Structure 1
């Protein structure tokens, strides 16, 4: 009986560890710069706002997907930034700020990296950059977990 209980406890322990996916380690831009200087790697940047329902839906669904979390944890530096943050960001020797006033005021780093030609900035914005910090892909809309996984494994 004791042996059976021990095996059962070991099985439960291993099963729970096997089901745990890696968590996304969201970095700041400052942390990203340090990491890139230590070891160049692909970078995933996600701009969102607190009021964006599609951003919230991605947080609740796509970024909770085990396969997505594993891909981001294993193959990318992941950065998540509220596009309306008022905090100054030191990156690549420059200080970026939110210089805008008003109801919707986007941070200049979000505008620099996440804008598109002849269109207003809108969230969500996803950028995938190569090891040299060159943009490979820009996505300007909601992604399901399936679509996000396809983007990450391309």
Structure 2
């Protein structure tokens, strides 16, 4: 009986000990919000709102999703300081700022300050400073990490 109990104890102890070495830190995930939930949350929490303006047909948008937004360093930076919002101006949807309703095209024009920016375009809304920074085009993870750092510094 003692040998069986010792074996079970050693077996369970070995499993517990080895499991602490076989599970690396879990990867962080980036959870995108829709405009109508992310924008008010960013305002309420006084966080920078990162708006990824994309379209379904945009190849560079898909590349940025696949390569840049999937990068763990980028995910950590965004999760720490931003409220990430996905925004497709071509969708037939109503977007709200406070109680004012906008179409996708109207919101896109307002965010872009009427400039033609193309896709992808990343907008950074600094909620505590009433500023919008426009970052048109694709950026790889290394470039985008620097952009995120500059935006965080500008928000201080």
Aligned counterpart for 2:18 among listed residues 4, 8, 14: 8
With normalisation by structure 1, the TM-score equals: 0.80
Aligned-residue Cα RMSD (Å) equals 2.0
Q: In proportion to residue count, which structure has more helix?
A: 2
Contact in 2 for aligned 1:126/1:140 (Cα 8 Å)? yes
Residue number in structure 1 paired with 2:118? 122
Any idea what SS the aligned residue of 1:57 has?
A: helix
Q: Which sections of structure 1, spanning at least 5 residues, go unmatched? A: 99-106
Change in 2 beyond 3 A, CA 1:116/1:34: closer
Name the count of aligned residue pairs.
Answer: 140
With normalisation by structure 2, the TM-score equals: 0.79
Aligned counterpart for 1:96 among listed residues 102, 110, 134: 102
Report the alpha carbon displacement of residue 67 of structure 1 after superposing the two structures with TM: 0.7
Give the Cα–Cα distance (whole angstroms) in 2 for the partners of residues 125 and 133 of structure 1.
Answer: 21
Contact in 2 for aligned 1:42/1:133 (Cα 8 Å)? no
Q: How does 1:2-151 map to 2 (within 5 A)?
A: 2=11, 3-13=13-23, 15=24, 18-21=25-28, 23-98=29-104, 107-115=105-113, 117=115, 120-132=116-128, 134-151=130-147
Q: Alpha-carbon deviations, 1:37-85, whole Å to 9, x = none?
A: 4321111111000111110100110010001111111110111111211
Q: Which sections of structure 2, spanning at least 5 residues, go unmatched? A: 1-9, 151-156
Change in 2 beyond 3 A, CA 1:133/1:85: farther
| Bigger radius of gyration | 2
Residue number in structure 2 paired with 1:153? 149
Change in 2 beyond 3 A, CA 1:24/1:85: same
Contact in 2 for aligned 1:29/1:89 (Cα 8 Å)? yes
